[in-house]
């Protein structure tokens, strides 16, 4: 394997650094099978000028040698219905956060976790955190009294969980006191505590979010799609919808969707800007990121 990023080997495990992130390959497991038994062979990665290879100890060269990657863990998470994960995050402690949607009403919700009311036979949002051994640290539903989709997620500097999603039907997420809100808006942004036991804020608006990101100052950026009823702010790039006539749109109408980008203050109390981004046909935003200067992409 050739590594273009900065790489080093630590106890036989290569660590590759790129873009502020590190990727570690666990040392492989090597063995030979003969005499009705499995015989271990020492194995580790070696690195020479950016080229990664396997280094192995003494073994019988007349017999097959098996070199396997290490699977740290593999697990299911779900209930009796259909479950999916739209975002997977890793916190500073190595815990895995899952955010997604489910039709299961029997997820392993933990005691003390923040939980919105659950209505059977609808799509529900959920948030869960697993430790480095796949044990469930907390699991919680996050849903309105109508189909609720959690589509995007991010972590703030303290490990609190930012989620973005939308509802379909008559029920909407209730905005918290002091948070920016548009009455009846299907889209929402919310923050759960890192322990999953508290709702820190919830903000609503007229759009269908797909992704969320945070800049170094803590401001929130959200993108997705909207059908011409987004409340924009003065002086933005595109203050009016560009969508023309489309058929079979998710809204049930004939208006093409536009991408939207909105920016909220760190506590979601203020809408700093909101703009359309789209032409006459169907446009949808699926991902967003923010550079160190606070510029969204």
Encode pLDDT of 215-239 as tens digits.
999 999 999 999 888 999 999 999 9
Residues in the chain with pLDDT < 70?
A: 117-118, 120-121, 247-253
Distance CA 74, CA 4 (A): 29
DSSP 2: B
Q: What is the pLDDT of residues 157-183, one digit of tens each?
A: 999 999 999 999 888 899 999 999 998
Edge to edge, the sheet with strand 208-214 lists 208-214, 220-226, 258-264, 271-277
Q: How many CA atoms lie within 13 A of 68 on its CB side?
A: 11
DSSP 218: -
For the beta carbon of residue 103, count every other beta carbon within 10 angstroms. Answer: 16
Tokens 């992409």, located at residue: 297
90, 24 in Cβ contact below 8 A?
Answer: no
Residue whose C-alpha is closest to residue 278's, from 224, 233, 213, 215:
224
Beta bridge mates, 274? 262
The per-residue pLDDT for 279 is 87
The per-residue pLDDT for 228 is 83
The per-residue pLDDT for 286 is 94
The per-residue pLDDT for 221 is 97
- Please state, in angstroms and as integers, the Cα–Cα distance from residue 254 to each residue in 151, 169, 189, 239, following that order: 23, 18, 27, 20
The per-residue pLDDT for 76 is 93
pTM: 0.81
CB neighbour class for 164 (10 Å; exposed up to 12, middle 13-18, buried from 19):
buried
The per-residue pLDDT for 56 is 94
The per-residue pLDDT for 113 is 92
Intra-chain end-to-end CA distance of the chain, in Å: 31
Tokens 């070199």, located at residue: 67
The per-residue pLDDT for 152 is 96
Distance CA 91, CA 164 (A): 18
The per-residue pLDDT for 118 is 65
């Amino acid at each position: 394997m050739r590594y273009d990023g900065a790489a080093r080997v630590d106890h036989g495990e290569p660590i590759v650094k790129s873009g502020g992130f590190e990727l570690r390959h666990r040392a492989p497991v090597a063995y030979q099978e003969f005499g009705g038994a499995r015989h271990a062979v020492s194995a580790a990665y070696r690195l020479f000028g950016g080229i990664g290879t396997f280094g192995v100890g003494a073994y019988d060269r007349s017999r097959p040698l098996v070199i396997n990657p290490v699977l740290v863990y593999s697990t299911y998470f779900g209930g009796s219905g259909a479950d999916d994960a739209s975002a997977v995050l890793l916190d500073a402690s190595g815990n895995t956060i899952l955010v997604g949607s489910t039709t299961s009403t029997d997820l392993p919700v933990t005691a003390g976790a923040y939980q919105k009311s659950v209505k059977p036979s609808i799509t529900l949002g959920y948030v869960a955190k697993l430790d480095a051994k796949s044990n469930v640290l907390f699991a919680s539903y996050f849903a309105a009294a109508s189909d609720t989709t959690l589509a995007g997620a991010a972590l703030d500097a303290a490990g609190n969980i930012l989620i973005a999603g939308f509802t379909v039907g008559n029920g909407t997420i209730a905005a918290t006191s002091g948070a920016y809100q548009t009455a009846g808006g299907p889209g929402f942004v919310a923050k759960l505590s890192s322990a999953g036991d508290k709702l820190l804020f919830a903000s609503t608006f007229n759009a269908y979010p797909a992704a969320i990101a945070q800049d170094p100052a803590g401001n929130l950026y959200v993108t997705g799609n909207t059908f011409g009823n987004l409340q924009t702010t003065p002086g933005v790039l595109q203050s009016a919808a560009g969508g023309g006539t489309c058929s079979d749109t998710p809204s049930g109408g004939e208006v093409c969707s536009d991408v939207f980008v909105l920016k909220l203050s760190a506590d979601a109390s203020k809408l700093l800007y909101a703009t359309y981004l789209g032409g006459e046909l169907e446009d949808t935003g699926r991902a967003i990121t923010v550079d160190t200067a606070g510029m969204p992409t």
